[in-house]
Amino acid sequence: MVEVTGEDGAVTQHVTSEGERSTVGQAATLGLSLAESKVILAGIQHVLVTTQADAHCRHRRRCSHCGAACPLKDHRSRRLVSLFGTVEVRAPRFGPFRCGVACRRSLTPVAEIMPDRCTPEYECVLAGLGSALPYRRARTLLAELLPLDTFPAQAITLAIDAGHVKSVRTYQMRSFEVMIARVGNDQGLEVVFSSMPAEADRQARQLHHVLRGLGATATTPVIILSDGTEGPRSLGAAASGGPIRNVLDWFHLSMRVQHVAQAVKGWAAAEPAAAERITILDDAVAHVRWRLWHGQTERALSLIGDLLADLDANLETVNSPPVRKTITLLRALETMSPDRPT
């Protein structure tokens, strides 16, 4: 826990890390581990940097000539790279002072204390190691000992999908697939990732670097939102390297239900005599959609199974293309991922 006392005497406490140790002595559990020390150092650095940046912004907002507060134009964010972690702080932008004496232009106080977006100490240490080692090796060595990266994310959400781009010119005889992913962490940071088949051997590695850049570790849970197909799901699982949870996104699931509803309407147009039966089936499809939307997956699958059993039992008497299409679409819906849609 870090306790910070402001200029006005107000005391605020910040919890930077929590842990426990067994009283039974073991060589592996004596003192802090390197990973725990990184978390503690990064937490202290985050508290100090954000506190100092906020205090500097409050001080600069007051006009030194008239004492009035300058108007707020907008809020931005700014990252500071240091030896003890990368810290992202709020960077408000203020308008000119109303008196027109102290400052007649827009003002970003955080940019004054973070002109290079990194601390001078970080540059000096990295330059010193870089003179004796290759730059990449020097950066890797520092990262092994110090918390250079951002805070480990508590959760990562990965929305991934694939689409096919058709050929345009006559010499392009084949279409190709494009994989697109949107990755976000619990701190509100998001990254959009895309790749092509020519990069298939590097897709998982590239996406893994994106996840690591957002704070993913070997223990960070990753929620993968996909349409249920094997390609996007397997790519997300290979890139995460930690615990994953596959979730079927609502758009694709709703489209599968909509296909069944359209097939039922086509059945009604082909066989007007079965209007009563089709009305019951259409109502059942609506109930399937409602149960899926409210996370009642087991009840939805049970209703789909009942509909398939009823249609299969009457397939000998009612065997038309719309009926067979309805059965096929219901089976496709039944075999989709049973995870709760989001």
Q: Give the chain's domain count.
A: 3
DSSP secondary structure string for all residues of 147-211: --S-PPPS-EEEEEEEEEEPP-STT--S-EEEEEEEEEETTS-EEEEEE-GGGGGGHHHHHHHHH
* H-helix or E-strand spanning residue 76: strand 72-82
Q: What does the pLDDT read at residue 171? A: 58
Q: Answer whether residue 159 shows pLDDT above 80.
A: yes
Q: What does the pLDDT read at residue 200? A: 62
Residue 23 located in a structural domain = no
Same domain, 244 and 257: no
Q: Which comes out higher in pLDDT, residue 24 or 182?
A: 182
Q: What does the pLDDT read at residue 341? A: 43
Tens-digit pLDDT profile for residues 227-242: 777 778 888 888 887 7
**Of the residues 214, 248, 282, the one at which a domain ends:** 248
What is the band of 120 on the pLDDT scale with cuts at 50, 70, 90?
Answer: very high
Same domain, 219 and 263: no
Domain of 274 in residue numbering reads as 250-334
* H-helix or E-strand spanning residue 43: helix 34-61
| Cα–Cα distance for residue pair 151/332, rounded to 1 Å | 42
Q: What does the pLDDT read at residue 201? A: 65
Tens-digit pLDDT profile for residues 106-116: 888 899 999 88
Tens-digit pLDDT profile for residues 264-320: 887 777 676 667 777 888 888 899 889 888 888 888 888 888 888 888 777 665 667
Burial of 230 per CB tally in 10 Å (0-12, 13-18, 19+): exposed
CATH of the domain at 212: 3.30.420.10
Same domain, 90 and 65: yes
Same domain, 105 and 230: no
For the record, the structure tokens of 163 come out as 């689409």
Q: Answer whether residue 322 shows pLDDT above 60.
A: yes
Same domain, 224 and 160: yes
Residue 25 located in a structural domain = no
Same domain, 279 and 312: yes
Q: Answer whether residue 16 shows pLDDT above 80.
A: no
For the record, the structure tokens of 171 come out as 């010499």
Least confident of 73-82, 94-103, 236-245: 94-103
Same domain, 255 and 322: yes
Please name the residue that has the structure tokens 């150092």.
Answer: 41
